Structure 1
């Protein structure tokens, strides 16, 4: 059992708790200003030992920065480069400056909440000018996720009994970005003005991601069956193009509309099977167009269509498929989502008309029942017979 002793310091009387760790080594913790605080600590230690939850205080003296290196190394091996890079940037830009030299045992929820508030805060002067623009919800959530992830690893390594950064009350909420869906006519107008018209139509009618489309090779097409297989995904990380598996880590087969089959057949005629379908003219992967300049932005302006990004063509594909009556399971397979539930969550706005259909169907059902009862009453019969 733990014992409590008092001792004198220049600041007055203090208390020391002597106790044994689960491996029977004697240790102590000193500096308690009241005997009551010492007794609470001693009781807590004994309960934690009985529950198997005891963590030696010395293990919490490692800094967040010392644990972060190993955590980032594990993430680099687990994640695709395009997913890992934002975490690395967030660590160096937002987490390390505040928490890098802080001992993990000294991290507390109040300090974490103040840090979250500071990241998102915007300071406005009396004249209305903004002197400090706070980070957006995505940046704040990612930075918090890095800190919480590092501390989670400390809990798993039994350096902490619990993660002190979990359950903050002031995490911002990401606002869903409004989507723009193009019509068939608008897709045609955009393709007519674009440098790569077939690529525009392919994105708008198959729902491929940009990286999946530019990684297509001749061998990935099965035009007699009107199919293509998504095998690779080419993503741009900083200034490099990295080729890996699709986002779901699984290949998938996508139906190709017949009008695209003829265009693709003309593009592949006489080309080697391992040749990229779309290139920059020098056999290299296309770079993702930015939304405010370059060939895609120019095509949008000339076509007079609503302002869209290249990813909006994937949303357009989902919209056109739904309006054509494609069922949700087929749409899920086309887009490469993990489940139909995910597809419904992402594109719930495309099914708003179904709510009207439910109301109409129920109205007709009630009307038919009411008419039946009225007719039966008029002729003097029991409508239940």
Structure 2
């Protein structure tokens, strides 16, 4: 039930809509200059909304975006990985809260959101902008679910295009990888451990955090497997979580990697971390600022005379070596810990470009073995064409 009534102010007559919310409580919307405006608002926001079961009250929408974020975080925190929780909290604090925290959710418009996204995109990367916008969309989706707003204004906001993946990757060859690993032995500290790190990343394709989380008991020398079921990330302090897609995996371990790891793990307890520097996980290595960088990894790259690939790019090298050794796409997916084989194929499509050339070569080889007469026909045809050329 709803009706329109007038009331007097010092500025003159105004109109208000009095109505009952779905829970039976009374409410009102005031400040209309004309009766007609009040009636139109009532028709759209009360009468039609109740009939379509999409009614939202004005009071419900007055909760601020900051209050909604607290609810959003409370609901999501139990299912977020520590690294995701850290990232979301940081992006809320830095990029969302200063603009929207104190604004009632029913006053957030598409235009406000578009301006915010455009200004953020002008200062930061497209990937960060899109990820931050998705957090805001999730908060507003919560408001829609709880009937604080009718629809999500983020739905019509234009986001920047994400930059394409790096198309040209640098893959080390096996001799280059071995040269890099062996160069680590010339280091002054932890030489054997660092050689094992390079071989593990370059042949088994572990991520840096997965390597840091390895314990001695995770290495199965009898089966030739590295069991990956944890990941370490530095969020102020080191925090242990699950691997990137949340799934543990068993990674094949070549003999050269096993031999290098034995030199690190022999005589140590199963629960100890495999790689430790000064009582902590190894410090992440980078190839940025290569001219001034003096860390052990960049030094080994320079002295080995190999391309400047980052530790994460050694994971790409592992994929390349596995493909050229004959690994199929499903085996490669399981080794790298991708969610799907199609994802692996998308990421490493360039590794399979030579497959088209191999198809024709392998078909010719099969024909030669299983149907020798076809070769005879080809020989006769070639001879006939040659004789015709002589006659002319």
* TM > 0.5: yes
Question: Equivalent residue for 1:219?
Answer: 217
Question: Equivalent residue for 1:37?
Answer: 37
TM-score under structure 2 length normalisation: 0.82
- Residues 87-126 of structure 1 aligned to structure 2 (within 5 Å): 87-121=88-122
Question: Equivalent residue for 1:131?
Answer: none
1:269 matches 2:260: no
Give the stretch that moved more between structures: 197-206 or 294-303: 294-303
Question: Equivalent residue for 2:131?
Answer: 142
Cα pair 1:191 1:198 within 8 Å, conserved: yes
Cα pair 1:17 1:29 within 8 Å, conserved: yes
Cα pair 1:276 1:283 within 8 Å, conserved: no
Cα pair 1:233 1:245 within 8 Å, conserved: yes
> Using the alignment, how far apart are the partners of 1:163 and 1:175 within structure 2?
28
1:159 matches 2:160: no
Question: Equivalent residue for 2:247?
Answer: 250
State the secondary structure of the residue aligned to 1:158.
coil
State the secondary structure of the residue aligned to 2:285.
coil
Distance 1:231 1:120, change over 3 A: closer
1:76: Cα distance to partner?
Answer: 3.2
Gaps of 5+ in 1: 122-133, 379-385
1:113: Cα distance to partner?
Answer: 0.5
Distance 1:170 1:12, change over 3 A: farther
1:64: Cα distance to partner?
Answer: 0.9
> Using the alignment, how far apart are the partners of 1:39 and 1:186 within structure 2?
77
Cα pair 2:121 2:160 within 8 Å, conserved: no
Listed one character per residue, the Cα deviations across residues 13-46 of structure 1 (whole Å, up to 9, x for unaligned) are: 5432233222333332222344443333222221
Distance 1:217 1:170, change over 3 A: closer
Question: Equivalent residue for 1:313?
Answer: 314
Residue from 186, 191, 201 that aligns with 2:181: 191
1:104: Cα distance to partner?
Answer: 0.6
State the secondary structure of the residue aligned to 2:227.
strand
Cα pair 1:107 1:165 within 8 Å, conserved: no
> Using the alignment, how far apart are the partners of 2:113 and 2:30 within structure 1?
27
Question: Equivalent residue for 1:15?
Answer: 15
Distance 1:347 1:37, change over 3 A: farther
State the secondary structure of the residue aligned to 1:28.
strand
1:142: Cα distance to partner?
Answer: 2.4
Distance 1:251 1:163, change over 3 A: same
Distance 1:363 1:46, change over 3 A: farther
Question: Equivalent residue for 1:127?
Answer: none
Cα pair 2:21 2:27 within 8 Å, conserved: yes
Distance 1:363 1:116, change over 3 A: farther
Cα pair 1:140 1:172 within 8 Å, conserved: no
State the secondary structure of the residue aligned to 1:15.
strand
Cα pair 1:236 1:287 within 8 Å, conserved: no
Question: Equivalent residue for 1:330?
Answer: 331
Question: Equivalent residue for 2:276?
Answer: 279
Question: Equivalent residue for 1:52?
Answer: 53
Give the stretch that moved more between structures: 226-235 or 102-111: 226-235
Gaps of 5+ in 2: 185-190, 366-373, 385-392
Cα pair 2:113 2:154 within 8 Å, conserved: yes
TM-score under structure 1 length normalisation: 0.83
